């Protein structure tokens, strides 16, 4: 199952907690026709979506995206201008960092 870094969970909670969004809003991740992933804010999951709640950060995973992300971790970074970038990495195995060379 997709996991979130602490940073990704905090960023998602901040986004979902905006006062101009309805209660229950989540980030939906769906596979696209190009083999990539699309992220968008949705007021509720769509039929068939897998719901992931990680410490209050709510994701709605479309079935194909859930399969693609099953052994992955979602990370996030915020630049000084406030722009958010999400990245998908391999999950850590047995408490050791994955082989992707990125510090966690």
21-37 exposure pattern, b = at least 16 Cβ within 10 A, e = fewer:
eeeebbbbbbbeeeeeb
Flag whether pLDDT at 102 surpasses 80: no
Q: What single-letter DSSP state applies at residue 93?
A: B
Flag whether pLDDT at 10 surpasses 90: yes
Least confident of 8-17, 33-42, 70-79, 93-102: 93-102
Name the percent of the chain in helix, strand, coil, to the closest 5: 15, 40, 45
Q: Is 10 helix (H, G, I), strand (E, B) or coil?
A: helix
The CA distance from 41 to 28, in Å, is 6
Q: What is the CATH number of domain 3-90?
A: 2.60.300.12
Considering only CA atoms, which of 28, 26, 31 is closest in space to residue 39? 28
pLDDT in tens, 14-29: 999 999 999 889 999 9
Q: What single-letter DSSP state applies at residue 98?
A: P
The CA distance from 8 to 88, in Å, is 10
> For the chain, what are the domain ranges?
3-90
pTM confidence score: 0.82
pLDDT, residue 100, reads: 44
Flag whether pLDDT at 60 surpasses 60: yes
For range 44-72, the mean pLDDT:
94
Regarding predicted confidence, which is higher, 93 or 45? 45
């Amino acid at each position: 199952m997709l996991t979130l870094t602490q940073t990704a969970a905090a960023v998602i909670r901040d986004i979902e907690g905006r006062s101009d969004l309805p209660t229950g809003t989540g980030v939906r991740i769906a596979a696209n026709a190009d083999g990539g992933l699309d992220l968008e804010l949705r007021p509720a999951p769509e039929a068939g979506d897998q719901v992931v709640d990680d410490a209050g950060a709510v994701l709605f995973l479309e079935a194909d995206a859930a399969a693609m992300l099953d052994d992955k971790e979602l990370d996030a970074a915020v630049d000084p201008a406030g722009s958010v970038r999400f990245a998908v990495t391999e999950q850590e195995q047995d408490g050791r960092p994955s082989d992707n060379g990125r510090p966690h």
